[in-house]
């Protein structure tokens, strides 16, 4: 019997859908339409995935006090890798057959970079602030899509992108010492993720969902394994071992929930749910680290979210026009 993870990926093969990119992405792209009656289920699954991913971010931040970010990122990829190994065992190596293996490898490398950069950054930046900054990634995708893929972008979407970047500047407040310089690493993580999304759009027309997920898991895990011996720290307590294992297990569960959400409903329906990460990040930050965002961070986050929701709405409108 197939595992839930493998069953969802198997259904994705038939639909031709492109997989989600939780972060380190958790920002979504458009998928083929599905039944409207499944929208509520998709929203619920997406909300559960966002809650779990916020928990992964929290555990990663705790672990950065004693464990190197490369090691944490490696454990995070282990969960997805195990799911992919089960899929390959069930379906064979045809899962790895790609029309663009070079692009798939590049996408996996970007996944390793974005995950590691995010974990380094979140070790120095409050959790809610870090999450808010990663939401500039969709705006970067819009810019890269216009410049690289020559996708049409109207004036109103350009305004939304500009306003979104202004929101990021409000959160960072460069030159005012409001955030640790590591906030720049979070922006780099968002940029790496945005490049992954651009590659996803290129690959989605020719490679299956399972192929992209498999390459991302295997390549990112292999690349993180290369420097791992130089950064490995043997966990000093049972608590650290438990947290590292939990990062792998919970990340895999969150990935599965998001794939199930996208299998149940359209991405444009469930995508706004990703902004609940700000809520969970704030609550985890308060209860675990005794940190709360200041007024400027809330203002910047509100600007980013409002701009992001407007951009999603414009993309939904554009999709209807093309349909």
Q: What is the structure's pLDDT at 276?
A: 86
Q: What is the structure's pLDDT at 238?
A: 94
Reported as a single tens digit per residue, the pLDDT across 303-319 is 888 888 887 777 667 66
Q: What is the structure's pLDDT at 133?
A: 86
Reported as a single tens digit per residue, the pLDDT across 224-270 is 999 999 999 999 999 999 999 999 999 888 888 887 787 777 766 77
265: its two tokens? 């409903």
175 burial class (0-12, 13-18, 19+ CB within 10 angstroms)?
A: exposed
Q: What is the structure's pLDDT at 260?
A: 79
Specify whether the CB–CB gap between 74 and 232 falls below 8 A.
Answer: no
**Residue 311: which residues within 8 A CB-CB, separation 6 or more?**
138, 139, 142, 157, 160, 161, 164
Reported as a single tens digit per residue, the pLDDT across 156-185 is 888 888 888 888 888 877 656 667 788 899
Q: What is the structure's pLDDT at 178?
A: 61
pLDDT confidence band for 36 (50 / 70 / 90)? very low
**Residue 7: which residues within 8 A CB-CB, separation 6 or more?**
none
pLDDT confidence band for 323 (50 / 70 / 90)? low
CA angle (232 as vertex; 60, 120 as ends), nearest 5: 35
Reported as a single tens digit per residue, the pLDDT across 102-148 is 999 999 999 999 999 999 999 999 888 888 888 888 888 888 888 88
Residue holding tokens 């005012």?
176
Query: How many residues are given for the chain?
Result: 323
95 phi and psi, to 5 degrees? -60, -30
Reported as a single tens digit per residue, the pLDDT across 176-217 is 666 778 889 999 999 998 898 888 888 877 888 778 888 999
More confident residue, 283 or 35: 283
Reported as a single tens digit per residue, the pLDDT across 74-106 is 999 998 888 788 878 888 888 899 999 999 999
Q: What is the 3-state secondary structure (H, E, C) of 69-121?
A: HHHHHHHHHHHHHHHHHHHHHHHCHHHHCCCCHHHHHHHHHHHHHHHHHHHHH
In whole angstroms, what is the distance from residue 76 CA to residue 55 CA?
12
Q: What is the structure's pLDDT at 74?
A: 96
Q: What is the structure's pLDDT at 23?
A: 43
In whole angstroms, what is the distance from residue 145 CA to residue 149 CA?
5
More confident residue, 125 or 10: 125
Q: Does the pLDDT at position 12 exceed 50?
A: no
Residue-range domain boundaries for the chain: 4-322
In whole angstroms, what is the distance from residue 276 CA to residue 258 CA?
14
Q: What is the structure's pLDDT at 42?
A: 85
- Residue range 10-23: average pLDDT? 42
Sign, CA dihedral 140-308-79-15, equals negative
Q: What is the structure's pLDDT at 321?
A: 61
């Amino acid at each position: 019997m197939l595992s839930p993870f493998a069953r969802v990926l198997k259904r994705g093969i038939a639909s031709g859908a492109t997989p989600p990119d939780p972060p380190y992405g958790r920002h979504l792209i458009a998928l083929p339409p599905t039944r409207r009656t499944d929208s509520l289920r998709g929203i619920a699954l997406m909300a559960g995935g966002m809650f779990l991913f916020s928990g992964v971010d929290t555990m990663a931040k705790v672990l950065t006090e004693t464990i190197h970010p490369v090691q944490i990122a490696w454990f995070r990829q282990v969960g997805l890798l195990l799911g992919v190994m089960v899929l390959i065992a069930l379906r064979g190596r045809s899962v790895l057959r790609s029309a663009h293996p070079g692009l798939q490898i590049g996408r996996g490398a970007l996944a390793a970079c974005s995950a590691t950069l995010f974990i380094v950054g979140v070790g120095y930046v409050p959790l809610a602030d870090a999450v808010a900054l990663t939401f500039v990634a969709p705006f970067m995708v819009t810019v890269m899509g216009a410049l690289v893929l020559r996708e049409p972008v109207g004036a109103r979407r350009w305004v939304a992108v500009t306003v979104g970047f202004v929101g990021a500047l409000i959160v960072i407040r460069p030159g005012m010492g409001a955030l640790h310089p590591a906030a720049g690493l979070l922006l780099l993580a968002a940029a790496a993720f945005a490049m992954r999304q651009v590659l996803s759009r290129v690959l989605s027309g020719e490679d299956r969902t399972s192929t992209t997920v498999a390459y991302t898991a295997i390549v990112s895990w292999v690349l993180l394994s290369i420097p791992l011996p130089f950064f490995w720290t043997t966990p000093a307590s049972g608590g650290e071992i438990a947290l590292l294992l939990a990062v792998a297990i919970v990340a895999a569960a969150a990935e599965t929930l998001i794939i199930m959400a996208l299998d149940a409903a359209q991405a444009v329906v469930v995508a706004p749910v990703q902004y609940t990460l700000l809520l969970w990040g704030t609550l985890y930050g308060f209860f675990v680290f005794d940190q709360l965002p200041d007024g400027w961070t809330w203002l910047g986050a509100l600007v980013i979210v409002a701009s992001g929701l407007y951009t999603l709405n414009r993309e939904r409108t554009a999709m209807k026009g093309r349909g």
